[in-house]
Structure 1
Amino acid sequence: MWGESVSLLEPGRHRVAHLADDAALLTAMVRVELAWLRALSGAGLLKPEQVAAAEQQLPSPVIDPAAVESSGNPVKPLVDALRAALPEVSAQLHRGLTSQDVLDTALMLMARNVLDHVTGSLTAAAADLARLADDHRGSVMPGRTLTRYAVPVTFGLTAAQWLAGILDARDAVATVRSALPIQCGGAAGTLSLAGELVADPVALAEDFARQLDLRWPGLPWHTRRTPVTRLGDALTQTVDALGVIAADILMLGRPEIAEVRERAVEGRGGSSTMPHKQNPVLAVLIRSAALQAPGLGAQLHLCAAQAVDQRPDGAWHAEWASCRQLLLLTATAASQTAELVAGLEVDPDTMTRHAESAATHLLAERGEVGGGPASYLGASDAFVDAVLVRWRGSRDA
């Protein structure tokens, strides 16, 4: 269903594939089923020792792709395998849930792991960007708008703007991560069978959420896909911010500009035919991710708009690959960005030389007033300070 964990056409995916590959998905689905058993046990439908024994005896299920196709999703073959392996709890296993409850909740568990990884990478990148912003607040360089010289700026302000984008993304990720919900509605979003099993099916759902340390959203969201689109939006926003950094570095690193350079790493960036080349591979791959992420986010919105009836006929199914691809794309690009900015080589002398040679253009706005590019920086230093204050506050919180 999901394809290969690591693809030769997705460079860098090996960094994070384990977070959302088939093994991770199976692990998450099993966690969901066990959490439901614990909730049923809390309601008196199973003995605690039965659940504990099931957890001890739990096999590593192997799912036949043909069985997944026959069922339309991986949950039924998983449940069949678990019932066969755990006869003492088989009658209650999955009872009251539906396949969408399990898979949606498992995807939220996988998303949480990915978001934690992304947050770590963004925090690492932010620390290095803060250093660059502070170190280069006085490194004057040409400002460029619409590909032409504008007015002088500093590389410190450029790095501060990159940092602000990273902090915005990290905030968006944190907001989504804190609200990741379980899915629990039963066959058609009414908790009908759960209502036959217990006096208060909502309390059962709430306990289910507690078992997984996820949020009970108040009602099922089988056809109200806001949790998925909100997740996709935060991921896309993150890759947008990473893409700006990569695109700027690629432009400023062109040999005719050469104001920054991606650090050379042994064995990376070589050409198959031109021995003189050292390609900026990390920046290229991050930019590639930024060109892919918006389409994946849009796919999730398209699916959300077609989530009809009480459970969708294909729109839900079409989410899966796009959601997982966007999770892994973001985690990969965030990891690559942290490495890119940690090793970024900045050439302030070249920046200054470019600014001085282009002074006529860069200072045209100010008219006949004297002074060089370094005297026409406006509030650049204050803007750097504002972003650094925000960074330090978030770091120390």
Structure 2
Amino acid sequence: MPDILWPGDHHAGEILTDATILDAMVQVESAWSAALVTAGIAPADAVLSADALRGLIADGDLEGIAEEAESGGNPVIPLVRRLRDGLGSSAAGMWLHRGLTSQDVMDTALMLCVAEGFDAVRIELDAQVEVLRQLADGHRRTMMPARTLTQHAVPMTFGLKAAQWLRGVLEAREQVAGLAFPVQMGGAAGTSAAAAELSGRGADAAPVAVRAGAIAADILGLAPVAPWHSVRTAVTRSGDAAVGCSDAWGHIANDVLVLSRPEIGELSEGSGGSSSTMPHKANPVLSVLIRRAALSAPPLGATLHQAAADATDERTAGAWHVEWDALRTLVRRAVVAARQTSRLVAELHVHGDRMQANLADAGAAVTSEQESMSRIAGHTPTPEYLGATQHYIDAQLARARRVTTEGA
């Protein structure tokens, strides 16, 4: 159900909802049982498909699992209990979850869900790159006043502003492209001792346990890595990428908010939002909501880093637990803001005539630096004071073309 207090939350769909996270935990349990069989640790009849395990969870079980999670501190414990009750004395029931710990299931399930979230974000970033390329190139000669610290500075073009937006989006895209979503399969304390013991291979057990983790990773489509129980970079890097995206989108939204003020009027949203009492209003609602996401993201990212810095022993009390909702909220909001930003830039109206008029009205406020520089150089001011603007626009366009062709 969409969050009524986070307008636009429906854009994130089922990404990282309670039901999706529960389903991801079921997928992890199924993948692990298959891995135990494939690695030769468990008998062939110990494996159950994710669909078969899903069938053991009734429609009303989600609420019960959420309530019962309090007694053990996480939802894996009541989930496993329900699954075992449903499987009874079968081999699948006996082998379910053997060699895993709750942290394995929680961390791996969250990585599955976060990967899905960033797949959605990546699609939107690609769409934004294409639109911003067109804006930068199409308005490379659309003159406007640059503003620093809220005041007129020097002449610039809207094409350069769009190229700077493009640069931010490209750098956010690089962060997202660099993410890896690792499996977590280490058992009680990250040693895989239980899986090794279950294999009955004695001195040769370690490679079998490691192979089981790699098999599970392959089934789930995650990166096969050594257990990372108290090293939380997989979580913080995902958080950093979401914050980086929100930074880039917030920059765009803030510029639109400022430049769409009636007294400036250089930009406007494609379809402004209405007011409950003022019929004339066409509020830049998309920009407002994107800015909201950008303002909320850094504290959530900081929570993830604080939890990582608080890591102790092989499972951290409280710090591990605080990650879950912070990461879920951060990634869902990134998906929402991604889709809102794509719409914002695609429907943006650029009022070049107003930009030119504002530049002319600024007068000496945008020419004083040029006059000063020309006096020092001993010549009259040149007709255009844009420096290397076209070069800087071309640099971002070339970078965007490389990304598009390479699919990086």
Confirm or deny a common fold (TM above 0.5). Answer: yes
Q: Do 1:262 and 1:344's aligned partners in 2 also have CA atoms closer than 8 Å?
A: yes
Q: Distance in 2 between matches of 1:26 and 1:136?
A: 48
Q: Cα distance, 1:8 vs. partner? A: 1.2
Q: Which moved more, 1:184-193 or 1:153-162?
A: 184-193
Q: Which moved more, 1:231-240 or 1:191-200?
A: 191-200
Aligned residues: percent identity? 48
Match of 1:18, SS state, is: coil
Match of 1:141, SS state, is: strand
Give the alignment of 1:78-227 within 5 angstroms.
78-87=79-88, 88=90, 89-176=92-179, 179-198=180-199, 199=205, 200=207, 201-218=209-226, 220-227=227-234
**Does residue 260 of structure 2 align to residue 264 of structure 1?**
no
Match of 2:147, SS state, is: strand
**Does residue 399 of structure 2 align to residue 390 of structure 1?**
yes
Alpha-carbon spacing, 1:123–1:309, altered in 2? closer, same or farther (3 Å)? same
Q: Do 1:209 and 1:216's aligned partners in 2 also have CA atoms closer than 8 Å?
A: yes
Q: Which moved more, 1:133-142 or 1:189-198?
A: 189-198
Per-residue Cα deviation, 1:207-232 (whole angstroms, up to 9, x for no partner): 221121211223x2111111111111
Q: Distance in 2 between matches of 1:60 and 1:141?
A: 63
Q: Which moved more, 1:39-48 or 1:147-156?
A: 39-48
Match of 1:151, SS state, is: strand
Q: Do 1:54 and 1:86's aligned partners in 2 also have CA atoms closer than 8 Å?
A: no
Q: How many residues align?
A: 385
Q: Distance in 2 between matches of 1:21 and 1:189?
A: 27
Q: Do 2:125 and 2:338's aligned partners in 1 also have CA atoms closer than 8 Å?
A: yes
For residue 350 of structure 1, what is the aligned residue in structure 2?
A: 354
Q: Cα distance, 1:26 vs. partner? A: 1.0
For residue 315 of structure 2, what is the aligned residue in structure 1?
A: 311
Q: Which of 26, 34, 47 is the aligned partner of 1:30?
A: 26
Per-residue Cα deviation, 1:315-372 (whole angstroms, up to 9, x for no partner): 1001111110000111110110000000000001111111122131212112163455
Q: Cα distance, 1:25 vs. partner? A: 0.3
For residue 294 of structure 1, what is the aligned residue in structure 2?
A: 298
Q: Do 2:46 and 2:95's aligned partners in 1 also have CA atoms closer than 8 Å?
A: no
Q: Cα distance, 1:304 vs. partner? A: 0.9
Q: Distance in 1 between matches of 2:198 and 2:43?
A: 15
Give the alignment of 1:10-89 within 5 angstroms.
10-48=6-44, 51=47, 55-56=51-52, 58-59=54-55, 61=57, 62-63=61-62, 64=64, 65-87=66-88, 88=90, 89=92
Match of 1:153, SS state, is: strand
Q: Cα distance, 1:57 vs. partner? A: 6.1
Match of 1:44, SS state, is: coil
Q: Which moved more, 1:82-91 or 1:49-58?
A: 49-58
Per-residue Cα deviation, 1:252-305 (whole angstroms, up to 9, x for no partner): 01000000000116xxx1111111111111000000111100000000011111
Q: Do 1:58 and 1:85's aligned partners in 2 also have CA atoms closer than 8 Å?
A: no
TM-score by length of 2: 0.91
Q: Distance in 1 between matches of 2:56 and 2:270?
A: 43
Q: Do 1:235 and 1:330's aligned partners in 2 also have CA atoms closer than 8 Å?
A: yes
Cα-Cα RMSD = 1.5
Q: Distance in 2 between matches of 1:343 and 1:55?
A: 42
TM-score by length of 1: 0.94
Alpha-carbon spacing, 1:137–1:53, altered in 2? closer, same or farther (3 Å)? closer
Q: Distance in 2 between matches of 1:112 and 1:17?
A: 14
Match of 2:94, SS state, is: coil
Per-residue Cα deviation, 1:149-204 (whole angstroms, up to 9, x for no partner): 1111100010011011101101100101xx21111111111111111012231122
Match of 2:5, SS state, is: coil
Gaps of 5+ in 1: none
Q: Do 1:59 and 1:85's aligned partners in 2 also have CA atoms closer than 8 Å?
A: no
